Each structure stands twice: as C-alpha cells, then as structure tokens.
Amino acid sequence: MTNMVSGNTLAAVAALIGDVSRASILAALLGGKALTAGELAECAGVSPQTASNHLSRLVDGQLVTVEKQGRHRYFRLASAEVAETLEHLSLLSAIGPVRYRPTGPKDEALRVARTCYDHMAGAIAVGIADSMVRSGAVVFDGNAGMVTERGEAFLTEFGISLSTARKSRRALCRTCLDWSERRPHIGGWLGAAMLERCCERHWLRPAGDGRALTLTRAGQVGLVETFGLPAEALKIVTPESCG
C-alpha cells in the first residue's frame, strides 16, 4: 500500500481548493486559457495583491503553473489531471445540497458546449462520445478509452491523424465525467484534437471570455451529418447566437 495517498496530502490539496477565492481562480483557468494575475483577481473579486498570494500557494501546491513572457506572467492549470479533478468536483457540487440560484442564459450555454481545459464538454461533447461508441470508433473501459481501427479510419477522414498522438506522452483517449450531463465525454489527446478540429471547421467558436462555446449553423449541419446527433436537440441554439 505504499502508493496510497495519505490523508494529510488529500487534506492539503482540499484546503487549497476549498478557499472561495482560490476556487474561483481555478474555475477561471478551467477554460484552458492562460491568464494574468490581474485578470484572475477580477475573476475572484479580490485585490491584485490577494490574488498573487493565492496564486503563490496554488503554484507551490502544483495545481497551477506560471509562464513568463517578457515582463508578463501568465498562469494556467498545471495539468489535464487537475482539470479533470475540478470537473469531477463540479459534478459533486451539482448533485449536492440544493441552493437557490436563478438559472440564467450563461448556465444553459455552458451545459450545451464548453471548454474543459483543452477539450470539449457539455451536451454536444457527450453526444459525440455516444456516437463514437455506438459506431465502434472508440471503446470505453472505466476511465480509459481505446480507438479502434474503424475509429482511426474515421478520424483520418475527419482530419485527425493519430501519428501525432503516438509522439505524445499524454494518454490518447480518456473518459471525463461531464458534470452537467453526468455521463462521459472524451478527454485526453483525442479530446483536445476533436475540439481543435471542430473549431478549425468553424463548427464551434468561443462565446466570449468564459468557457462557453457557440455552435454555428455549419456546426449544426456537421454534427448531424458526421456524428448523427439529432437535429432537434441542436435547435437549442438560437439563430442570433449562430454565425
């Protein structure tokens, strides 16, 4: 049992995440963008000095990493594993004690499609994962995912070459439990490549400064034709929000 994580270690990580300001900083970084201390201070509603103190603790705890570009310092989540842990915590908070908070359009947009670090989450991402499992393109086994020969042929046609993935040290395909759908979407190298390709095809685009993604008209057609997603389910996006 030498690999078992100690209670002290778990408590230390939980304490880092448990502070409201630090949790707000981590949530802002879950979108995958590197942000400055000033931007994160605004997200957390604290002073720049307070944000810097929180960021120092998060960097020391290896939850956040810092990159220097000239005089500027940018912060991002330390790894995809940190992002997946935060997504799972979001699931726990969603099924926890009910607290009154009016649901607004931003909440609905996040449930439809959002970034989860460097891959896609939300109803559309879960729909894509379901489609690829049904077609035999991928096979899920717990947290692990495997791309089949049929899947590799499909991905090549879609514009994703797995030859690049084989040079990466990152897991090719992982399942990531979606907090809003409570079912898995695709993470790992493949999840990131799928999001990048959907954006290259102009199927999805950032909805603003947050994590939400906007589904375009081209995306509506592409998702129906390529993944067999039901057209009626994609009509939740209003014409005004499509391009």
Domains (range + CATH), the chain: 7-78 (1.10.10.10), 105-241 (no CATH)
Who wins on pLDDT, 98 or 239? 98
Return the residue matching tokens 């899920």. Answer: 140
Give the helix/strand (H/E) hosting 64.
strand 64-69
Cα–Cα dist 103/159, whole Å = 37
As a whole number of angstroms, the distance between CA 110 and CA 11 comes to 30
Q: Is the pLDDT of residue 243 over 60?
A: no
Q: Is the dihedral of CA 37, 43, 47, 51 positive or negative?
A: negative
Mean pLDDT value across residues 2-19: 79
- What are the strands of the beta sheet with 184-187, ordered from one edge? 138-141, 144-147, 174-177, 184-187
Average pLDDT, the chain: 85
Query: pLDDT exceeding 70 applies to what percent of the chain?
Result: 87
Mean pLDDT of 29-52: 91
pLDDT band at 5 (very low <50, low <70, confident <90, very high): low
Q: Between these two residues, 70 and 220, which has the higher pLDDT value? A: 220
pTM of the model: 0.73
* Sequence-distant (≥ 6) Cβ neighbours of residue 215 within 8 angstroms: 112, 113, 124, 203, 204, 223, 234, 237, 242
Q: Which residues fall within 8 angstroms of residue 188, CB to CB, at 6 or more apart?
A: 80, 119, 145, 170, 171, 172, 173, 174
Rounded Cα distance between 37 and 76, Å, is 10
- Residue of 61, 48, 67 whose CA lies nearest to 17: 61
**What is the rounded distance in angstroms from the CA atom of residue 60 to the CA atom of residue 4?**
22
> For residue 2, what pLDDT is reported?
46
**Residue tagged 């790992």 (tokens):** 188
pLDDT in tens, 55-98: 999 999 999 999 998 888 999 999 888 888 887 787 776 655 55
Give the pLDDT confidence of 114-164 residue by residue, as tens digits.
998 889 999 999 999 999 999 999 999 988 999 999 999 999 999 999 988
Residue 1 — very low, low, confident or very high, per pLDDT cuts 50/70/90?
very low
The Cα angle at residue 185 between residues 179 and 186, in degrees rounded to 5: 140
